[in-house]
Structure 1
Amino acid sequence: MITRFLTDVRVKFNPFSKRAKPARLFLSLIPPNARVDGMKIETKMLPRTSKEPATLDVKFKDGKEMKLELEKMRITEVMEEVDRHSRVLARKEELTGN
C-alpha cells in the first residue's frame, strides 16, 4: 500500500466486531515511522455493545478526502481505493520532477 501521500487517517471501529477486520488490517499496514514523517493518525475504539459501523477517513497531500464505510468492504477493496488515488499523485509527482 502506498502511504507516502497520506496526511491524515481517522479510523473508528469496534475492536470486538467481526466486521472490524478491515480497520485493524489497514492500521497494521501503516508503517511504524508514519507519525514521524508527518501523518496524523487518529483511532477511536467503540464500546463492545456499539452498533455503529466501522469507518475510515483518509486525507491526501493534495487535499482530497476519502470516506469509506468498512462494514461493507474487504481489506483488498480498501487498499485498491487508497492506492488508486496514491498512484495518481505519484504520476503527477513523477511528471513534475519532484
Structure 2
Amino acid sequence: MITNFITQVSTKFNPFSASSKPARLFLASLPPNARSSGGMTIQTQLLPRNSTEKPTLYVKFKDGKEMNLDPSVLGIKSIVEEVDRHSRILKKAADLANA
C-alpha cells in the first residue's frame, strides 16, 4: 500500500466487533514509522464493548482529497484498493512533475 501521500487517518471502532476487522487491519498495514517520518496524523477512538455504533474510517491525502470509508460494508481488500487508487494518481502526478 502506498502511504506516502496520506496525511491523516482517523478511525472509530469497537475492537471486539467483527465488523470492525477491516479498520483494525488497515491500521496494522500502516508503516510503524508513519507518524514520525511521513508526517501522518493517526487518530483512533475505541468504542466500548457493548457499543452498536458502526465503525468508521477517514483518510485524507496531501492534495486535500478525503475518503470516508465504511469498514462494516467494505472488506480490507476493497479499502486498500480505494486508497491505493488515489495514491497511484498522486504518485503519477509527482513523477511527472519531477521529470
**TM-score relative to the length of structure 2:** 0.96
Structure 2 distance, partners of 1:29, 1:69, is 17
Query: Runs of 5+ in structure 1 lacking a partner?
Result: none
Q: After TM superposition, what 4+ stretches of structure 1 lie above 6 angstroms from structure 2?
A: none
Structure 2 distance, partners of 1:43, 1:3, is 17
Q: Give the secondary-structure state (helix, strand or coil) at the position aligned to 1:72.
A: coil
Taking the TM superposition and a 5 Å limit, the aligned residue runs for 1:1-98 are 1-37=1-37, 38-97=39-98
Count the aligned residue pairs.
98
Structure 1 distance, partners of 2:85, 2:31, is 19
Q: CA deviation at 1:11?
A: 0.7
Structure 1 distance, partners of 2:86, 2:9, is 15
Identity %: 57
Q: Give the secondary-structure state (helix, strand or coil) at the position aligned to 1:81.
A: helix
Q: Give the secondary-structure state (helix, strand or coil) at the position aligned to 1:70.
A: coil
Kindly provide the amino acid, as one letter, of the partner of residue 36 in structure 2. Answer: V
Q: CA deviation at 1:76?
A: 0.1
Over aligned residues, Cα RMSD in angstroms? 0.9
**TM-score relative to the length of structure 1:** 0.97
Q: Give the secondary-structure state (helix, strand or coil) at the position aligned to 2:77.
A: helix
Q: Give the secondary-structure state (helix, strand or coil) at the position aligned to 2:80.
A: helix
Structure 1 distance, partners of 2:2, 2:41, is 16
